[in-house]
Chains A and B, each alone.
Chain A
Amino acid sequence: DAGVTQSPTHLIKTRGQQVTLRCSPKSGHDTVSWYQQALGQGPQFIFQYYEEEERQRGNFPDRFSGHQFPNYSSELNVNALLLGDSALYLCASKVRSDNSPLHFGNGTRLTVT
């Protein structure tokens, strides 16, 4: 039973470019959340998707957008990349329940130069 899988594992982009990160949730999970984790910091909530719609959003600009597909997989898109977007991007999935724990993928390390 595969856990949460993310691709790619590492990515290097240039300022102003656009990037798409991908996530497949753990089998049986229908809710996907995305987090940004800067070095030495805690994960910062970007948004959460359920039933192919964005349900909750953290304090991130509109440059950050996402999508959830019918098979529950998800994408995170970041436009007009800034140096400050360099971070580990974590995808977490869970069953749609307020009390269910998050299962994290290994993350995508994004470097913006």
Chain B
Amino acid sequence: GQQVMQIPQYQHVQEGEDFTTYCNSSTTLSNIQWYKQRPGGHPVFLIQLVKSGEVKKQKRLTFQFGEAKKNSSLHITATQTTDVGTYFCAGANNDMRFGAGTRLTVKP
């Protein structure tokens, strides 16, 4: 069945440093979605990528979808303490399958 792998599992950065998390699927995806879950909260939708090679930006966040539609990345420029949380990718075929997430902590 479809598997979505995400690395790294944890990332601790100093405020102002950049952060990247990577997502890989065992199968080609129709689309990929990214979610953020704050400690004690629930996943909140960030963005969706549909097209091969697509790149989308949200302020300091840049999302990419691979040419083969099997991998994706999320890059945060100049992290802030408000970026703390776990970032999940979710790959869609018939249902949404989530990666294990990358937990980001930011030291002020």
A→B interface (CB under 8 Å): 33, 35, 40-45, 48, 56, 58-59, 90, 92, 98-99, 101-107
Q: Is the CB of A101 within 8 A of B33?
A: yes
Q: List 16 A-B contacts (CB under 8 A).
A: A41-B100, A42-B6, A42-B98, A45-B96, A45-B97, A56-B94, A58-B97, A92-B43, A98-B92, A99-B31, A99-B50, A101-B33, A103-B45, A104-B43, A105-B42, A107-B42
Partner of B95, one of A58, A104, A105: A58
Q: Check: B20 CB closer than 8 A to any chain A CB.
A: no
CB distance from A31 to the nearest CB of B (A): 10
Q: Is the CB of B42 within 8 A of A90?
A: yes
Q: Check: B44 CB closer than 8 A to any chain A CB.
A: yes
Q: Check: B88 CB closer than 8 A to any chain A CB.
A: yes
Q: Check: B85 CB closer than 8 A to any chain A CB.
A: no
CB distance from A98 to the nearest CB of B (A): 6
Q: For B31, what are the chain A residues with a Cβ–Cβ distance below 8 Å?
A: 98-99
Q: Is the CB of A42 within 8 A of B50?
A: no
